[in-house]
Amino acid sequence: QVIKCKAAVLWEANKPFSIEEVEVAPPKEHEVRIKITATGICRSDDHVVTGAMVMPFPIILGHEAAGVVESVGQGVTSFKPGDKVIPLFIPQCGECKSCLSTKGNLCSKNDHALGGALMSDGTTRFTCKGKAIHHFLGTSTFTEYTVVHESSVAKIDPAAPLEKVCLIGCGFSTGYGAALQTAKVEPGSTCAVFGLGGVGLSVVMGCKAAGASRIIAVDINSDKFAKAKELGATDCVNPKDFQKPIHEVLIEMTGQGVDYSFEVIGRTDTMTTALACCQYNYGVGVIVGVPPAGQKITFDPMLLFTGRSWKGSVFGGWKSKDSVPKLVADYMNKKFVLDPLITHTLPLTKINEGFDLLRTGK
Q: Report the phi/psi class of residue 285: left, alpha or beta, with left for phi > 0 and alpha for psi in -120 to 50.
A: beta
Can you tell me the distance from the alpha carbon of 340 to that of 323, in angstroms, rounded to the nearest whole number?
22
Residue 115: per-residue pLDDT: 56
Predicted confidence (pLDDT) per residue in 267-313, tens digit: 999 999 999 999 999 999 999 998 888 889 999 999 999 999 999 99
User: For this structure, is 277 an active site residue?
Assistant: no
Helices 43-50 and 351-359: angle between axes, nearest 10 degrees: 90
Average pLDDT of span 55-59: 95
> Which one of 47, 134, 135, 247 is the catalytic residue?
47
pLDDT at 114 over 90: no
More confident of the two residues 84 and 115: 84
> Which one of 42, 99, 191, 278 is the catalytic residue?
42
Q: What is the CATH number of domain 183-312?
A: 3.40.50.720
> Which one of 5, 18, 30, 44 is the catalytic residue?
44
User: For this structure, is 47 an active site residue?
Assistant: yes
Query: What are the structural domain ranges in the chain?
Result: 3-171+317-360, 183-312
Can you tell me the distance from the alpha carbon of 282 to that of 276, in angstroms, rounded to the nearest whole number?
12
Can you tell me the distance from the alpha carbon of 196 to that of 223, in angstroms, rounded to the nearest whole number?
10
Widest Cα–Cα separation across the chain: 64
57-94: burial string, b at 16+ Cβ within 10 Å, e else:
ebbbbbbbbbbebbbbbeebeebeeebbbbbbbbbbbe
Q: Report the phi/psi class of residue 255: left, alpha or beta, with left for phi > 0 and alpha for psi in -120 to 50.
A: left
Average pLDDT of span 331-335: 98
Average pLDDT of span 219-226: 97
**In the structure, what pLDDT confidence band is assigned to residue 148 with cuts at 50, 70 and 90?**
very high
Q: Is the pTM of this model over 0.85?
A: yes
**What 3-state DSSP class applies to 281?**
coil
User: For this structure, is 344 an active site residue?
Assistant: no
User: For this structure, is 96 an active site residue?
Assistant: no
Residue 121: per-residue pLDDT: 87
| Cβ atoms of residues 317 and 105 within 8 Å | yes
> Which one of 170, 191, 207, 278 is the catalytic residue?
170
pLDDT at 113 over 70: no
Residue 352: per-residue pLDDT: 98
pLDDT at 65 over 90: yes
Fold assignment, 3-171+317-360: Quinone Oxidoreductase; Chain A, domain 1 (3.90.180)
**In the structure, what pLDDT confidence band is assigned to residue 109 with cuts at 50, 70 and 90?**
confident
Predicted confidence (pLDDT) per residue in 166-213, tens digit: 999 999 999 999 999 999 999 999 999 999 999 999 999 999 999 999
User: For this structure, is 135 an active site residue?
Assistant: no
Residue 170: per-residue pLDDT: 97
Residue 112: per-residue pLDDT: 65
Mean pLDDT of the chain: 96
Average pLDDT of span 80-88: 98
pLDDT at 78 over 80: yes
| Cβ atoms of residues 191 and 185 within 8 Å | yes
**In the structure, what pLDDT confidence band is assigned to residue 32 with cuts at 50, 70 and 90?**
very high
Q: Which amino acid is at 21?
A: E
